[in-house]
Structure 1
């Protein structure tokens, strides 16, 4: 009798979990069939769902591959969490305009609990009175036009300290002492504190003679912008880019615009940036090809809605692949080409609409967009206006993406900078 009881217990321990999995699978299929308008979904495994499809980094490319195979609106299951993957501008526009209120919430993720102080920060706070209060404080007291104007001196000082460091560390004579890197970008970051979150080597500048090493630069920062306008204006091959032997015409046009609008011998100011349309085109094109966050911060539906004609139930997490939208051939002419001129035709980022989502859209759009564009514009204008930039002799610029959520470079960007003759006096006065 004891043997029979132990055998029964052993069989029960095996069969009960299998029965639970079978019932869960059948119920999921029944619910899916009951919702006739469910978005397309790839085959999944029990328990893990579609996690195996995104195991290979980078995440935004894995999700883009799923969208290419299944459509621009796809339903995924990451573990037990349903996820709506959106990879087209029309679907994103529907989410952030028609259903903006429904998708104004944030999912309660473990990472948000830890990094967002229990989901109390403006980025991760649930939609409600607390978030609205944080947004009002940011918009009125921290990031308004007046507040940004009053704090411009600190950003200008940080950017000029960066230019001075490059000049003194060897840019003036070509024989400066080697440095370990880090001090120069700390000067720039002192004006605007930011979280890297990219898992790369960090953002730093190292200088050997006239060489400026810029490790870990991502698409939304100064380093990534330099890397983009100094690369090949041509087709992407795989994940890397090969630059030409001479500076591209976009860099030359940027220098010419700065010389014409600012003049030779004067340092750029923040108020000059709106009067530099081609420089802003370079920045917008860089943010298109290399958004700082290729995936927007996740949203969560607080009510049932429809996206692209498909039913989306309440509690579904929304992932918008901005990287895929920015390179969608249905929205952009020659999307893999670096062509700043396209934004002259578009009239800027605003006229591009939801084809451009470097800062998100809707109620939960990043409130720091104005600050970011001021910092990037001033830093890039200063670096182009004060220095001549070239790639290292005999080396190609590798734009391969590293691990992380902010598209850090896998290999540090190394560029040679030489002070422009017309700016020597201005640099020496810093």
Structure 2
């Protein structure tokens, strides 16, 4: 369990660290004049600085403390890999704007291999495949025009969530009730993502009861497992010679969860293909799966990946990133509002516009529809958890009180 926690802690590095080859620059005639970033002291043989990342201090705060000591740019050795840590906007601009091509790729990792053999474009190395799939996602799926066409999906799901929260409040005579708001927000963002991608919805209410059948629960569990394993780094990610050992059994678990998710996305894809045959639908005006089927010919291949694999891999990563990061942003926003009541009121993510639309609409509707407080006026635990999008460590329980005329909720 300690080993698992050790490698889980490393996940937070993705928010601040760009892995690269410090000593493998190509075609640089100014190497002799280069000034290397300082390296953190205390590196051990074989594992480098990995031992620093497994303690009780959250990895993000540890990196911040090291920045206070070594400056806004420094290096760590993670096993056989070297990593550059930057913590100032000037350095970030240099890395991701001025020299973005240098940092555009991704290191080889177990999760990329297990998740469709790097067909998930967010995990793919910089190259033709990444460019082609990202181009499809940016120009066909996540354009402002297409997101505007699907604004009714966002609005209806937010309506559903607000009404569901109101119904929970009506169970108490005082119209006040304790709600695990993080669960409601996660279900909301997952439903929006799945409806946009496949025209489906996960039918769970905020009281924890599923309104359809076990298939919905299996879907949610599979997606949550995929989210978890996408952020688990195995030992071989940093020390490739340990790949044969599969320490912790993470690779085996990743392969299992991909099979589970593939059953779901494969079923969706077959339904879309069959429906298109029956209805002769080829204009790409349906959900995102329909758009991808219209964009990619049946015999299309990209870097050895066939069309169906590309669609399933892209669907998976858009569900994972579209639901998790947006939900975590909402949860942090609610937590910050509750903690500050006086103010209440080139690898860039291609879905940033979509995420902001969901966050802004959801927050506006939630704050407009309810007075929100904490149980017994207690402060909110603001500890950071482990995960790719830096989730909160503890769930957020709030007291909701409807503040609008009752008929406005009932008519949603």
TM over 0.5: yes
Structure 2 residue 150 is the aligned partner of structure 1 residue 42: no
Aligned to 1:397: 380
Structure 2 residue 411 is the aligned partner of structure 1 residue 429: yes
1:411 pairs with one of 371, 394, 404: 394
The 2-side partners of 1:374 and 1:218 are apart by 10
Shift of 1:137: 0.9
The 2-side partners of 1:37 and 1:148 are apart by 45
The 1-side partners of 2:177 and 2:63 are apart by 45
Aligned to 1:100: 100
Within 5 Å, give how 1:260-299 maps onto structure 2: none
Shift of 1:187: 4.6
Distance 1:126 1:164, change over 3 A: same
Distance 1:188 1:121, change over 3 A: closer
The 2-side partners of 1:393 and 1:179 are apart by 13
SS at match of 1:192: helix
Distance 1:388 1:183, change over 3 A: closer
SS at match of 1:75: strand
Aligned to 2:286: none
Distance 1:198 1:227, change over 3 A: farther
The 2-side partners of 1:48 and 1:367 are apart by 35
2:334 pairs with one of 209, 214, 226: 226
| Higher-helix-fraction structure | 2
Structure 2 residue 149 is the aligned partner of structure 1 residue 167: no
Structure 2 residue 195 is the aligned partner of structure 1 residue 186: no
Give the TM-score of the pair, scaled to structure 2.
0.56
The 2-side partners of 1:176 and 1:89 are apart by 43
* Structure 1: tracts of 5 or more residues without a match: 1-27, 201-215, 233-247, 255-362
Distance 1:39 1:90, change over 3 A: same
Structure 1 stretch displaced more, 56-65 or 373-382: 56-65
The 1-side partners of 2:130 and 2:325 are apart by 31
Distance 1:34 1:73, change over 3 A: same
The 1-side partners of 2:383 and 2:326 are apart by 11
The 1-side partners of 2:34 and 2:101 are apart by 25
SS at match of 1:101: helix
SS at match of 1:102: helix
Shift of 1:400: 1.5
The 2-side partners of 1:82 and 1:67 are apart by 16
Report if the CA contact (8 A) 2:178-2:399 is conserved: no
The 2-side partners of 1:175 and 1:122 are apart by 47
Give the TM-score of the pair, scaled to structure 1.
0.54
Aligned-residue CA RMSD (Å): 3.2
The 1-side partners of 2:131 and 2:109 are apart by 20
Shift of 1:402: 2.5
The 2-side partners of 1:62 and 1:111 are apart by 25
Within 5 Å, give how 1:335-346 maps onto structure 2: none
Report if the CA contact (8 A) 1:50-1:79 is conserved: yes
- Deviating above 3 A after TM superposition, structure 1's stretches of 4 or more consecutive aligned residues are 33-36, 171-185, 193-200, 216-220
Shift of 1:40: 0.7
Within 5 Å, give how 1:290-329 maps onto structure 2: none
* Structure 2: tracts of 5 or more residues without a match: 1-22, 24-30, 195-219, 232-323
Shift of 1:109: 1.6
Report if the CA contact (8 A) 1:58-1:401 is conserved: yes
Report if the CA contact (8 A) 2:77-2:83 is conserved: yes
The 2-side partners of 1:91 and 1:177 are apart by 47
Shift of 1:220: 4.0
Distance 1:131 1:170, change over 3 A: same
SS at match of 1:94: helix
The 2-side partners of 1:427 and 1:373 are apart by 24
Within 5 Å, give how 1:50-69 maps onto structure 2: 50-56=49-55, 57-69=57-69
Aligned to 2:125: 126
Aligned to 1:90: 90
Report if the CA contact (8 A) 2:47-2:80 is conserved: yes
SS at match of 1:64: helix
Shift of 1:250: 1.9
